[in-house]
Amino acid sequence: MNQVFNMNRLINYAYLKFNMNKKMLFLSIAGFFGVLFVISFFIAANSKPEAEAPFEHFHKFAFLLMLFGGEIVIAGRSFQDMNTSEKALTQIMIPASKLEKFTINALFSSVGWALITFALYQTFGLLINALWASIYDLNFNYFITIDVFNISEEMLVNAPDFYSRIHIYNYILLHAFFFLGATAFKKHPIVKTALTFFLVSLFYLLIGFVMMLLFFGSFNEMGHAMQDFGDYLTANNIQKEDLKPLISGFEVFTYYLFPLILYVTSYFKMQEREV
């Protein structure tokens, strides 16, 4: 197969992948909304007419569960069709380059799924609120999906550039991790990736634990040590702005370089699967 990137082949491959997975996708989404519908019924039936926004917390939790949970499942199953020799042979024969296959799987499980979730849950939330408000005479509230990502004014004041993008960062980082897992593990990729993610997170926590002990001595004296550290910064005329390069460096590595490394590794692992 010609490995030169071609837009027409890309579109055709995207259409093929959609047709191959649309039944499972539609059934999964319908089942998820069906469960939410039943839960919302019990919430509405047990809510008082004067209650303010009885579905607010329900919608926030359900929307985030659909967004991040769906991302994990779709990204983790991106290369499910290559888990056996027979399936891998069929995938190799598809008229699309490796880069085109990689691009479609990556975009659909990240940007595509985010757009689907925002559009479908926005519609579902408004319909559910209107339905139960009319039946049980509840207060009708518009549910806006983007409002789920609202953050406190204090966070915006302290670090507006970082906190205004933190949810996008987490979404991309989680996607990159499970997308790599889909290429690295042939059997049970989601479970194995989740376990790996847990171990990596635990490793970072241990590093933080060791660093705190090195800086502050012990947890019992941490409050005093942190106060002494603050006094040290003040005495040496060190402002918050002076620490921005350190914070920016952490941000660049964690949310830019690290996902990029994961995506590049995923591409080469996908190539290995096709050999």
Question: Tens of pLDDT along 32-62?
Answer: 999 999 999 998 888 887 666 678 889 989 9
Q: How far apart are CA 241 and CA 233, in angstroms?
A: 12
Please answer whether residues 59 and 251 qualify as being in contact, where contact means their C-beta atoms are separated by less than 8 angstroms.
no
Amino acid (1-letter code) at residue 197: F
| pLDDT tens, residue by residue, 57-107 | 899 899 999 999 999 999 999 888 776 666 666 677 777 788 888 999 999
pLDDT confidence band for 156 (50 / 70 / 90): very low
Exposed, middle or buried, 163 (CB in 10 Å: 0-12/13-18/19+)?
Answer: middle
State mean pLDDT over 197-201: 89
Asked whether residue 37 is domain-assigned, the answer is: yes
Between residues 131 and 226, the one the model is more confident about: 131
Asked whether residue 12 is domain-assigned, the answer is: yes
Q: Supply the mean pLDDT for the chain.
A: 81
Asked whether residue 24 is domain-assigned, the answer is: yes
**All residues at 6 or more sequence positions from 136 whose CB lies less than 8 Å from its CB, including other chains:** 44, 45, 47, 49
Asked whether residue 2 is domain-assigned, the answer is: no
| Structure letter (DSSP) for residue 141 | -
Domain housing 198: 7-274
Is the predicted pLDDT of residue 179 greater than 80, yes or no?
A: yes
Indicate the number of domains in the chain. Answer: 1
Asked whether residue 158 is domain-assigned, the answer is: yes
Asked whether residue 165 is domain-assigned, the answer is: yes
Asked whether residue 1 is domain-assigned, the answer is: no
| pLDDT tens, residue by residue, 212-243 | 666 665 555 555 455 555 555 565 565 656 66
Between residues 185 and 54, the one the model is more confident about: 185
State mean pLDDT over 125-143: 85
The proportion of the chain whose per-residue pLDDT surpasses 90, expressed as a percent, equals 35
Is the predicted pLDDT of residue 147 greater than 80, yes or no?
A: no
Q: What is the pLDDT of residue 275?
A: 63
Which residue's structure tokens are 């949970």?
69
Q: What is the pLDDT of residue 178?
A: 95
From residue 275, alpha-carbon distances to 85, 99, 148, 178, 272 in Å are 11, 15, 44, 22, 5
Asked whether residue 194 is domain-assigned, the answer is: yes
| pLDDT tens, residue by residue, 5-39 | 788 888 888 888 888 888 999 999 999 999 999 99
